[in-house]
Chain A
């Protein structure tokens, strides 16, 4: 299967699911099984609690993560004690989660384990940096359910998206929803002289005027956009929101006369929390969104089975999705792909 080879081009990968039970863990296990370990040393963790035996919400069985000899894993000490593999403890890190300190170990005899790593983006980034001292070539992060933050390009350079019948049992809706997320991930990077300056800003909503000067709108986040009574797009070529991009801000700019001349900028796709309707309206009026950092979406994996037992036709789903997003789509459980 080609996407394993593609993964090898990156030093960090995150796997995120659009919903619970979309086959994210199967996808991770598949990758871990196929990675050529003789070429690359691999470390695995997850953001927050994940890899439970049973899904905490829907009580469906969740596959454990299978780790091969030579891999490194980082998990909370409570889960480390329950591991079903032989591993050598190499470090007790300074990161903590609700399940205790995060420990790092090297697998001696392969087997299954529960992985629950650092619970915040910041500590995850520290982990990615810290694990390098063991000569790791590839770090893999199992993203938490409906939390895309681990896929932020600030943490991992490449990503794999899992989607499936758990999101919607209607193929067209499923394709539509997935396509929208893929579109957001695929937003182009901002090409402007102000890019480096914008990267250094830590909070608030900012503008760059037509002369290239930075303007602070003095609002803490896009959530407080109501406090602004004037047209913030006037004389601006860029509006940059450091935090979340919401429908409210998007609509505000969509209503502006200046929409065609202004570019809306966000840090990366994980900061976009807008509905598809609002986005389409925004685009139809001539608006466009750019990101400061971009992730590489390597592939989309699908699970045609919903937790309630409803099963979609795998081939139709893969085909329709592939046509819509123009990216490789795989049903890993059904097809035993070979490299």
Chain B
């Protein structure tokens, strides 16, 4: 799965992407096209590199990367044997000089996460006067004849553009000769540069990669994220896990996000708890953090241990599609069915299902959820659902949101052994200030 398609999962990954300060368009493109890492060795190696960047002050590098331009098109034209024009040669020279400056910074900071090829020869080709400035034109020193022609042009134009007809023709001929000479030089330069094509492409890719790493390291510092531990076994554990987008939203309103602890292995997990107890946010946070870890971002928790999976399935019950003619119930059931099929086929999945069968009657709904938990006795990934139904299955790990305490919601998750769901719906409805007559009748009915 590419990062671009992962952004479609409604778990808050886009918020993380939007707040990631990648300087260059090629860096952004590389990230969007990157595939999710699925093995411990890949992820560990990536975080090793990220930590190398994270532990150093890369502000100077970030500043330099602001001028990185995506010149893949120019390089592919060079590869095709096309003669580059002034603007393209400028781009190549700019890349080479930028890379050599960043290379020096990497050495100075002792960073080994990224290796940049030596491009001194490219700079020599495009900077014949050793001026070491990233501007370009077909310099006089490339050709004696060019120098001579320019001298004559300059002499003719000493009086601006007011010329006699004879002089005008002379100038016109000079301009033509000048254009031919410049072309010759650019042909020669392009040929010489072709020998360094691989290094130039490597450089552009490495700089894009570096851009991503620097942005991620900066995000970890800014958002106070953590480096995940990648588990050897199938256990997942989060201490003080949170959801950055929700946290930021609450902070805007002057409220604080209450982080939660959660741990699970390959037995199915159910989360019960009052309405508005943050169950859906827990599922979204789990999906988000799993994605963050497998795409090499900082993870939103104080500390965590993550079990890499092949795929993340988040069903939050909005699979209804008017276009497909499927009701919300049918949409949901079909989505869960896909998850079951994948698990049965042995795929390592993190499946997160929010209140399955909630839109049907509670008798059949309960039976459907119990049935689901029996089918998924154990997976090689993880299987977590939230529910309001009383589930009696034995072989599940149960979490419960602490719920209302003295009129305040406690979002803490605690392990429980009984499946009885809390009865706080009326109290919560009351706290929302709905019609009192409605509440009174409801209470009366319940007591009968």
Q: Say whether A associates with B.
A: yes
Interface residues of A (CB under 8 A from B): 29, 33, 66, 68-69, 77, 80-81, 84, 86-92, 103, 105-106, 108-112
The answer to whether A86 and B153 have CB atoms under 8 Å apart is yes
The answer to whether B87 and A80 have CB atoms under 8 Å apart is yes
The answer to whether A111 and B137 have CB atoms under 8 Å apart is no
Q: Is B80 an interface residue (CB 8 A)?
A: no
Listed residue (A77, A80, A89, A111) with the most chain B CB atoms within 10 angstroms of its CB: A89
Closest A residue to B93 by CB, please name it.
A89
**Considering the complex of A and B, which 7 residue pairs feature the smallest CB-CB distances, nearest first?**
A88-B137, A90-B135, A66-B161, A89-B90, A110-B157, A33-B160, A109-B153
The answer to whether A86 and B178 have CB atoms under 8 Å apart is yes
The answer to whether B160 and A68 have CB atoms under 8 Å apart is yes
Q: Is B258 an interface residue (CB 8 A)?
A: no
CA distance A88 to B153 in the complex (A): 16
Q: Chain A contact residues: over half helix, strand or loop, or mixed?
A: strand
Chain B contacts for A112, CB-based, 8 A? 161
The answer to whether B87 and A89 have CB atoms under 8 Å apart is yes
Closest A residue to B157 by CB, please name it.
A110
Closest A residue to B150 by CB, please name it.
A109
Instruction: Name the one of A80, A91, A109 contacting B86, with C-beta atoms under 8 angstroms.
Output: A80
The answer to whether B160 and A110 have CB atoms under 8 Å apart is yes
Chain A contacts for B94, CB-based, 8 A? 92
CA distance A108 to B135 in the complex (A): 13
CA distance A135 to B140 in the complex (A): 25
CA distance A108 to B87 in the complex (A): 16
Q: A80-B86, A92-B91 are in contact. Are A86 and B137 (CB under 8 A)?
A: yes
CA distance A111 to B136 in the complex (A): 18
Closest A residue to B162 by CB, please name it.
A33
CA distance A69 to B91 in the complex (A): 24
CA distance A86 to B178 in the complex (A): 9
Q: Is B358 an interface residue (CB 8 A)?
A: no
- Could you tell me the distance in whole angstroms from the C-beta of B441 to the nearest C-beta in chain A? 43
Q: Is B326 an interface residue (CB 8 A)?
A: no
Closest B residue to A33 by CB, please name it.
B160
- Could you tell me the distance in whole angstroms from the C-beta of A25 to the nearest C-beta in chain B? 12
The answer to whether B154 and A103 have CB atoms under 8 Å apart is no
The answer to whether B150 and A86 have CB atoms under 8 Å apart is yes
The answer to whether A88 and B136 have CB atoms under 8 Å apart is yes
Q: Is B370 an interface residue (CB 8 A)?
A: no
Interface size class of B (residues with CB under 8 A): 10 to 19
- Could you tell me the distance in whole angstroms from the C-beta of B319 to the nearest C-beta in chain A? 39
Chain A contacts for B175, CB-based, 8 A? 84, 111
Closest B residue to A65 by CB, please name it.
B161
Chain A contacts for B85, CB-based, 8 A? 81
Q: Chain B contact residues: over half helix, strand or loop, or mixed?
A: helix
CA distance A108 to B69 in the complex (A): 25
Chain B contacts for A92, CB-based, 8 A? 69, 87, 90-91, 94
Interface residues in B143-161 by Cβ distance below 8 A to A read 150, 153-154, 157, 160-161
List, sorted by A's number, 28 A–B pairs whose CB atoms are closer than 8 Å: A29-B161, A33-B161, A66-B160, A66-B161, A80-B86, A81-B86, A86-B150, A86-B153, A86-B178, A87-B137, A89-B90, A89-B135, A89-B137, A90-B135, A91-B135, A92-B90, A92-B94, A103-B87, A105-B137, A106-B135, A108-B137, A109-B150, A109-B153, A110-B154, A110-B157, A111-B157, A111-B175, A112-B161
Chain B contacts for A105, CB-based, 8 A? 137
Chain A contacts for B150, CB-based, 8 A? 86, 108-109
- Could you tell me the distance in whole angstroms from the C-beta of B33 to the nearest C-beta in chain A? 22
Chain A contacts for B90, CB-based, 8 A? 89, 92
Closest A residue to B86 by CB, please name it.
A89
Chain A contacts for B137, CB-based, 8 A? 86-89, 105, 108
CA distance A29 to B178 in the complex (A): 24
Chain B contacts for A33, CB-based, 8 A? 160-161
- Could you tell me the distance in whole angstroms from the C-beta of B276 to the nearest C-beta in chain A? 36
- Could you tell me the distance in whole angstroms from the C-beta of A293 to the nearest C-beta in chain B? 32
Chain B contacts for A108, CB-based, 8 A? 137, 150
- Could you tell me the distance in whole angstroms from the C-beta of B157 to the nearest C-beta in chain A? 5
- Could you tell me the distance in whole angstroms from the C-beta of A130 to the nearest C-beta in chain B? 13
Chain B contacts for A86, CB-based, 8 A? 137, 150, 153, 178
Instruction: Name the one of A29, A68, A81, A106 contacting B87, with C-beta atoms under 8 angstroms.
Output: A81
- Could you tell me the distance in whole angstroms from the C-beta of B281 to the nearest C-beta in chain A? 36
Chain A contacts for B178, CB-based, 8 A? 86
Listed residue (B90, B91, B157, B161) with the most chain A CB atoms within 10 angstroms of its CB: B161
Chain A contacts for B135, CB-based, 8 A? 88-91, 106
CA distance A66 to B175 in the complex (A): 15
CA distance A75 to B357 in the complex (A): 62
Closest B residue to A80 by CB, please name it.
B87
Closest B residue to A100 by CB, please name it.
B87
Chain B contacts for A91, CB-based, 8 A? 135
CA distance A33 to B137 in the complex (A): 24
CA distance A156 to B85 in the complex (A): 33
- Could you tell me the distance in whole angstroms from the C-beta of A162 to the nearest C-beta in chain B? 19
Closest B residue to A88 by CB, please name it.
B137
CA distance A147 to B135 in the complex (A): 33
CA distance A308 to B160 in the complex (A): 29
- Could you tell me the distance in whole angstroms from the C-beta of B22 to the nearest C-beta in chain A? 15
Chain B contacts for A81, CB-based, 8 A? 85-87
Closest A residue to B90 by CB, please name it.
A89
CA distance A92 to B134 in the complex (A): 11
Chain A contacts for B69, CB-based, 8 A? 92
Given contacts A105-B137, A109-B157, 14 further A-B contacts (CB under 8 A): A33-B160, A66-B160, A68-B160, A77-B87, A80-B87, A81-B85, A84-B175, A86-B153, A88-B137, A89-B135, A89-B136, A92-B91, A110-B160, A111-B153
Interface residues in B94-124 by Cβ distance below 8 A to A read 94
CA distance A103 to B153 in the complex (A): 24
- Could you tell me the distance in whole angstroms from the C-beta of B133 to the nearest C-beta in chain A? 8
